[in-house]
Amino acid sequence: MSIEEKTNPNLVRLIKDLKDQARENDAPIWRDVAERLEKPSSNWAEVNLSRIQRYADEDETLLVPGKVLGAGILKKKVTVGAFKASNSAKDRIVEAGGEYISLRELAERNPSGSEIRIMG
């Protein structure tokens, strides 16, 4: 079985940028996320809002190396960075007082990767 190359140019660029970020800032979290995104998308994390509600703390920054789904209720103010999110998940995160951002923006805001919890 051959290894398929990623065809999404945005994803390929994000993976490269995350690896560069890890090397430049000595932040292994970004290399870990890049390696997870290199795997087949069927193996990517899919995290429901109910899981975020259950395990996240108020005002915490979460990273989902995959997709955030809108199932469940979210009452905590959290910042969520993910490669993708459903529209309902984005809306519910904002309604709860939180913020949804892309992985690229999260890496730019926090180059060292400190105070970030990976979910998924």
Q: Could you give the maximum distance between any two Cα atoms of the chain, in Å?
A: 46
Per the domain annotation, does 19 fall within a domain? yes
Per the domain annotation, does 79 fall within a domain? yes
Count: domains in the chain: 1
Q: pLDDT of 21-56, one tens digit each?
A: 999 999 999 999 999 999 999 999 999 999 999 999
Query: Which one-letter DSSP state was computed for residue 6?
Result: P
Do 55 and 32 meet the contact criterion of CB atoms below 8 Å apart?
no
* CATH number assigned to the domain comprising residue 40: 3.100.10.10
Per the domain annotation, does 86 fall within a domain? yes
> Is the pLDDT confidence value at 2 over 90?
no
Residue bearing tokens 């904002």: 94
Q: Which alpha helices (DSSP H) does the chain contain, by range?
A: 9-25, 28-38, 49-55, 87-95, 103-109
Task: Give the pLDDT confidence score for residue 3 in this predicted structure.
Answer: 55
Chain-centroid distance of CA 95 in Å reads: 19
Q: pLDDT of 69-117, one tens digit each?
A: 999 999 999 999 999 999 999 999 999 999 999 999 999 999 999 999 9
Beta bridge pairs of residue 68 = 47, 85
